[in-house]
A = this chain, B = another copy of it.
């Protein structure tokens, strides 16, 4: 880096991410009409007023030939009296649900028509995207689209602690500063940042947010009591952006607050206690979303503590919330976190399915099971969770992790859209037919996706400027899982770097290749882990090998990998629908990238590529680290061609990534050379 620069932003300004001033330039000085009412409409009016600026106007009817009309369909006059884009949009909007919109533009004017005000908000942001990607920032686009979200639930989970002392800092697994919600045990008084965040989320279609960590430490339980007025105020902010607010709750809350001597879900006093809590919340927050619960997981309390099961636990809370339309998101991340590494018969990958599959159909209608996308824990490569496929009679959201806990912690560039897209496009039966996304959409109006946020109070929100794309892309994929990562990145680059059109392809390619590069230099062939315990950044091949966490690679001098076959292993492969179970069961059909997740093989086992496992390890680690150097050199060459703050931020991160990738390469290759004794075919230095 050149002299005088350092890793700090050069100005203290908060980064607008993909909603910078240029994005609304298309509306500057325009006359716009907005026909709707409600809290979202109020927000939309403010958005429009800011966008048109002093030279434009925002009216409440169709007079004055507005260039843009945003209207609830029921507030428009009879369609036959309308013309142009409005007329076409009214026709197209027929039959839409509350979040859909029709957007028609002919280059001179445009109209957004929807059934509800949230559709108008989403249509508005769609218009901005379209204008930006069309490439001419001040021309209204020509288009004629009807859009509805594919998935009903599109949720963000904050893992924010009410105080930094709680556990693992201000935000658990947060890599972008402190919480924007909480500080020193209280809600942050200045809520502008929260409103900015709500706007970013709404712009990509997020409609639900849980604001506190799923590990609910005692202090955070008070959000249900003393903290409720502040929660209500935050819910008011999110309401304006069409987003429902949820709280993570501690299953033992009645005990923690000292109100009851038990939290047994079958105890009448406990039932009454939760009913009272729900009623009190509803009085303050009429559209309260509900609860997120991590129960009997990694030491959190839950129904098992009273000899009850997950159905008892989830239905208890569901019963309390049902009268007010609230939901319970019950996490399925339940496994034995005090496993004995000596015991090869216990398999953490099996745990969620073993715990929950048999309970299908027994949960209340307003219970939503929250299932991690893979069977382990957000590794760079995992098969899809068999539980996500299995619960056909239960509302399900699949949980992703935007924050890069195991994928570089926003130091390393790792655009996760290709991974998420693979999960959502997974062929559920293995014989053609529904993708996972389709299956979720079909399952119920209370199914969808959620994800752990990657933001904090860093000026650029995500620590690594380019990690903003993961937040953006999650929302976009949740809305439309058929979008390709490239399409999403095309939007994101156009919106985020409106002044760098000449670098558009470079920026898209950098992001697109980064997940694959990260996979190359870290744990090989789906085996996962090999990270530094606790922090989860950087290599430690044996870091979790003799731990209680159920996360092993079983490497010895002859081979490595986890035998999860039915025939000779833990039987995990048998949790899948038959076609997939067969495919994963056999070495001949198991995909290379998941080979070591499903099988223990000798180092000289040949992949479908024809390469041996050991040579594949050497090659990919050398190549992955080389690619990071290439990215770093490329970025260095961009100095002066992007804003200084972004360039400096990414440059600093890439320098660190170069060091980290080198460390991964050398530790992994040395470890396996020392164990296997098999030299690199290309004779490179292995230590």
Q: How far is the CB of A656 from chain B (nearest CB, A)?
A: 15
On chain B, the residues within 8 Å of A539 by CB distance are: 546
Asked if A196 is an interface residue, CB under 8 A from chain B, the answer is no
On whether the beta carbons of B556 and A675 are closer than 8 Å, the reply is: yes
Asked if A557 is an interface residue, CB under 8 A from chain B, the answer is yes
Contact bitstring A649-678, B, C-beta under 8 A = 1, else 0: 000000000000001001100110111110
Name the contact of A667 in the complex, choosing from B546, B666, B673 (C-beta under 8 A).
B546
Q: How far is the CB of A533 from chain B (nearest CB, A)?
A: 8
On chain B, the residues within 8 Å of A558 by CB distance are: 677
On chain B, the residues within 8 Å of A676 by CB distance are: 557
On whether the beta carbons of B342 and A687 are closer than 8 Å, the reply is: yes
Asked if A364 is an interface residue, CB under 8 A from chain B, the answer is no
On whether the beta carbons of A557 and B674 are closer than 8 Å, the reply is: yes
On whether the beta carbons of A557 and B677 are closer than 8 Å, the reply is: yes
Q: A558-B677, A675-B557 are in contact. Are A546 and B670 (CB under 8 A)?
A: yes
Name the contact of A541 in the complex, choosing from B342, B542, B667, B675 (C-beta under 8 A).
B542
Expressed in whole angstroms, the Cα–Cα distance for A539 and B543 within the complex equals 11
Asked if A114 is an interface residue, CB under 8 A from chain B, the answer is no
On chain B, the residues within 8 Å of A666 by CB distance are: 342, 546
Asked if A647 is an interface residue, CB under 8 A from chain B, the answer is no
Expressed in whole angstroms, the Cα–Cα distance for A542 and B555 within the complex equals 13
Expressed in whole angstroms, the Cα–Cα distance for A673 and B342 within the complex equals 13
- When C-beta atoms are compared, the residue in chain B nearest to A554 turns out to be B674
Contact bitstring A534-575, B, C-beta under 8 A = 1, else 0: 000001111100100000000111100000000000000000
On chain B, the residues within 8 Å of A125 by CB distance are: none
Q: How far is the CB of A539 from chain B (nearest CB, A)?
A: 7
- When C-beta atoms are compared, the residue in chain B nearest to A668 turns out to be B546
Expressed in whole angstroms, the Cα–Cα distance for A620 and B675 within the complex equals 23
- When C-beta atoms are compared, the residue in chain B nearest to A686 turns out to be B342
Asked if A273 is an interface residue, CB under 8 A from chain B, the answer is no
Asked if A341 is an interface residue, CB under 8 A from chain B, the answer is yes
Contact residue range for chain A?
A: 20 to 34
On whether the beta carbons of B540 and A674 are closer than 8 Å, the reply is: no
Main secondary structure of the interface of A (DSSP, over half): loop
- When C-beta atoms are compared, the residue in chain B nearest to A663 turns out to be B546
- When C-beta atoms are compared, the residue in chain B nearest to A673 turns out to be B556
- When C-beta atoms are compared, the residue in chain B nearest to A677 turns out to be B557
- When C-beta atoms are compared, the residue in chain B nearest to A662 turns out to be B342
Q: How far is the CB of A522 from chain B (nearest CB, A)?
A: 14
Expressed in whole angstroms, the Cα–Cα distance for A670 and B547 within the complex equals 13
On chain B, the residues within 8 Å of A671 by CB distance are: 542, 546
For residues 108 through 159 of chain A, which have their beta carbon under 8 Å from a beta carbon of chain B? none
Expressed in whole angstroms, the Cα–Cα distance for A673 and B546 within the complex equals 14
- When C-beta atoms are compared, the residue in chain B nearest to A555 turns out to be B674
On chain B, the residues within 8 Å of A663 by CB distance are: 546
- When C-beta atoms are compared, the residue in chain B nearest to A667 turns out to be B546
Q: How far is the CB of A383 from chain B (nearest CB, A)?
A: 26
- When C-beta atoms are compared, the residue in chain B nearest to A344 turns out to be B687
On chain B, the residues within 8 Å of A667 by CB distance are: 546
Expressed in whole angstroms, the Cα–Cα distance for A687 and B346 within the complex equals 14
- When C-beta atoms are compared, the residue in chain B nearest to A685 turns out to be B342
Expressed in whole angstroms, the Cα–Cα distance for A342 and B555 within the complex equals 21
Expressed in whole angstroms, the Cα–Cα distance for A369 and B624 within the complex equals 48
Expressed in whole angstroms, the Cα–Cα distance for A677 and B663 within the complex equals 27
Expressed in whole angstroms, the Cα–Cα distance for A677 and B673 within the complex equals 15
Expressed in whole angstroms, the Cα–Cα distance for A556 and B673 within the complex equals 8
- When C-beta atoms are compared, the residue in chain B nearest to A687 turns out to be B342
Q: How far is the CB of A534 from chain B (nearest CB, A)?
A: 9
Q: How far is the CB of A562 from chain B (nearest CB, A)?
A: 14
6 cross-chain pairs, A with B, having the tightest CB-CB distances, nearest first: A556-B674, A542-B542, A342-B687, A546-B667, A557-B557, A557-B677
New A-B pairs, 17, CB < 8 Å, besides A542-B542, A556-B674, A557-B677: A341-B687, A342-B666, A342-B670, A540-B542, A540-B546, A541-B542, A541-B546, A546-B663, A546-B666, A546-B670, A546-B671, A555-B674, A556-B677, A557-B557, A557-B674, A557-B675, A557-B676
Chain A interface residues toward B at CB < 8 A: 341-342, 539-543, 546, 555-558, 663, 666-667, 670-671, 673-677, 687
Q: What would be 11 A-B contacts, judged by CB atoms less than 8 Å apart?
A: A342-B687, A540-B542, A540-B546, A541-B546, A546-B666, A556-B673, A556-B674, A557-B557, A557-B676, A558-B677, A674-B675
